Structure 1
């Protein structure tokens, strides 16, 4: 069925092309190709976006929602876009959660047979703390929720549940492996607490075996006791699992002083260039301004933010007035609440705004591979007609299905197409949600290739629309 679906879309795209008079088609292709080439020439020789990333990561640093650093990032990005001379720059209020990590976490394996061994852990976002004295209990290792359920309350009560399901590294696209493992991070504490557990350890969400813990958000459920939850490095997870086989009675000590404070007023930061012909048709481009409180939030999602701003700079630099409005949004609170994305969609709906497309960059600043499109058949077919313009720049991967967390709430508002920028995924989960997600791990050329790729697609959508109309595509 998937093959037939793609075949229908390809045939529809080919039919659209054949419906355009040859001369008009050639002229349009040549004009579009020239503009796109200039985008890449500018992006690859410019350092402005890279210096923006340097400032965001080095001068502001980690910027968890509600923190002073997040507030500084809001003001910085507002000033950057105001200095670009855009048609409009404004802030959109949103109340966000304010979770504080507290002291550096302590994680220790205590075995009567093998002695004590410290391992790297990080409290998961939104987790309660253990108290200043810490928590010590026996450990039960499980791979999934089904295995946990089979153990039952009698065996789980009073224990620390250790979820140790690794990534399935047979997946070529690492996001698929992440999707197959992350449920234990999000829902592990609730599932374990229902059976009487006193704490949770979760194997870090990464393909690699490394001595680096990866944080990330988790959730609680009303009526279920809140128990502390921490991520353990994959190296630590391997060591704990091996020691449990030798000493099933060993204990784990964890100390975390994390807490959730009252919500804080923050903002989505929005800048736009008004469309010259159809200003009421909006193309959103964005990334999330917040990051976790460890590291510098370079790949997640500093690169997505500066790439989105770079799209506007490339249009301004080339003197291009888009036919449709291009709106860049720096979303707040993607990491532990998604309130910025929801607020944006809520206000867009209330205003009756018409979004043609929404493009999100939140997969790191690595070499571009393509785009994932969550849209109808006609929209996908339209994108396929642009493949000859995109493939010279390595954008071969144009597939159904895509989007992103922050633009997701727009789904269902008219016929908006949700598009996810797809860079190479192999290194992303080495850095994701860690203290090593720093400016130094970002390659300028790779990041700038991504910005130019985004600008190219945004330009094509702005010029030709995204409704599958061959007449519009030929203008």
Structure 2
């Protein structure tokens, strides 16, 4: 819940004399910003009509069918950019443009693994993003298992040298993905931690909550100055299988073969579409998702859904000719998956533009539905946030807190003091599909996606008609960003 608002002193004043309270209440009412009745009425119309009359499902079907997987710098990257530019134009956005984003690329190759002894059988694996290749004939070594990354880091070189490290940390499902942070370190830091102790390779239990025999990929970071070793994820059933073998107190030998490795430098684009207010203004509300995906599925959940719901939200407002005082800008960010390149580039290109960004929110946690509205705004803007939360409560959206963030691609803008909103998406089943070959359009449920698109439409419309700012660029948010760990 919101922790503090500018109207809280009224509760104390009610205990004082009636003669004093009337003028102070009048002054306080004047000081509290409020949405107009017309704006709130339009927002209610969105709530009632948009669930059945937005184009999110059509947009997402188009992206996953006509483009498919969108590995940054891969063969479909340029096709995705062309699709997004054309789709913005087709949907009637007033302005459509591209902003270049350059980054190193990574290529996936062969990926196989098998237990050689004592119980020979194949294993289902996938290379982690940024992993180097094994020798061309593969890598064979005995396995050593650790329950967590911390357990690995506490091990000795004598235990690990010459072995393939296996981190078998299970992940549990939560509505907000709360277990992702404590679990994902095995993927992002495990290879370097293992290499420091002399390991020759890394296998991790997939960072996922499903039990399909499909492994989850994701970015693996190598620490500077530490030898790089090949790194892959096991499907959850194969991680359990391997652990069961190890429980029999016999050495387990595994052969893994990865053909992955770095590719050439590449330039992609942030693709941007804007719906303009009738009056000329430089101020805008920013919403969006990331256009890239991993290459195993078709990127429907991560993050085609985010692109589709934010495009659909802005298009709905324009198609219904709903009045907005400020522009609504949709940014489809390039290469989030391998290092937030698009979000960082947008910050660099628009660093002098911070005060013009009224508020920003990204959709990057699946299809939804949205269950809470969080914010990171100046205290004086909290009454407006509360009014937005009340307006959106009819979509079963709860009032959230004021120390949230807007999404991964907005971390860089948040550090510059942009007012952020988090439309919290129900991610209970998100990590069943995340970064797997199962991330495909057939997993998307229209009712859930439509509620999310409606939520973003209500948020963008209300923010674009806010009677006062939320604090972007003001010292409070700049200092708050400095003290926030992302």
| Map of 1:106 onto structure 2 | 112
Conservation of the 8 A alpha-carbon contact between 2:99 and 2:270 = yes
CA–CA distance in structure 2, aligned partners of residues 292 and 45 of structure 1: 30
How far 1:285 sits from its partner (Å)? 0.5
| Map of 1:34 onto structure 2 | 41
Per-residue CA distance 1:238-290 (angstroms, 9 max, x = gap): 11111111034111211111111011111000111233457222211010000
Conservation of the 8 A alpha-carbon contact between 1:356 and 1:465 = no
CA–CA distance in structure 2, aligned partners of residues 352 and 425 of structure 1: 30
Matches within 5 A, 1:372-383: 372-383=374-385
How far 1:56 sits from its partner (Å)? 0.8
Task: Say whether 1:341 aligns with 2:343.
Answer: yes
| Map of 1:451 onto structure 2 | 453
Per-residue CA distance 1:136-167 (angstroms, 9 max, x = gap): 11111112333223321111111111111112
Q: In angstroms, what is the RMSD of aligned CA positions? A: 2.5
CA–CA distance in structure 2, aligned partners of residues 428 and 397 of structure 1: 22
Conservation of the 8 A alpha-carbon contact between 2:143 and 2:254 = yes
CA–CA distance in structure 1, aligned partners of residues 248 and 176 of structure 2: 32
Per-residue CA distance 1:375-431 (angstroms, 9 max, x = gap): 3333444312322211111111422313211011002334x2122222211111110
Per-residue CA distance 1:116-147 (angstroms, 9 max, x = gap): 12221110001011133111111111123332
Per-residue CA distance 1:153-206 (angstroms, 9 max, x = gap): 11111111111111245xx43411111100110000011111111000111111
CA–CA distance in structure 1, aligned partners of residues 150 and 470 of structure 2: 45
| Map of 1:70 onto structure 2 | 77
Give the TM-score normalised by structure 1. 0.90
| Map of 2:170 onto structure 1 | 166
Q: What is the SS of the residue equivalent to 1:290?
A: coil
| Map of 1:132 onto structure 2 | 136
CA–CA distance in structure 2, aligned partners of residues 166 and 278 of structure 1: 53
Long gaps (5+) in structure 2: 12-23, 472-486
Matches within 5 A, 1:79-158: 79-103=86-110, 105-112=111-118, 115-158=119-162
How far 1:446 sits from its partner (Å)? 1.3
Long gaps (5+) in structure 1: 470-475
How far 1:353 sits from its partner (Å)? 5.7
| Map of 2:14 onto structure 1 | none
289-298 or 42-51, larger mean C-alpha shift = 42-51
Give the TM-score normalised by structure 2. 0.88
| Map of 2:396 onto structure 1 | 394
60-69 or 139-148, larger mean C-alpha shift = 139-148
How far 1:466 sits from its partner (Å)? 5.7
CA–CA distance in structure 2, aligned partners of residues 272 and 69 of structure 1: 24
Conservation of the 8 A alpha-carbon contact between 2:358 and 2:470 = no
How far 1:42 sits from its partner (Å)? 4.1
Task: Say whether 1:408 aligns with 2:396.
Answer: no
Conservation of the 8 A alpha-carbon contact between 1:356 and 1:466 = no
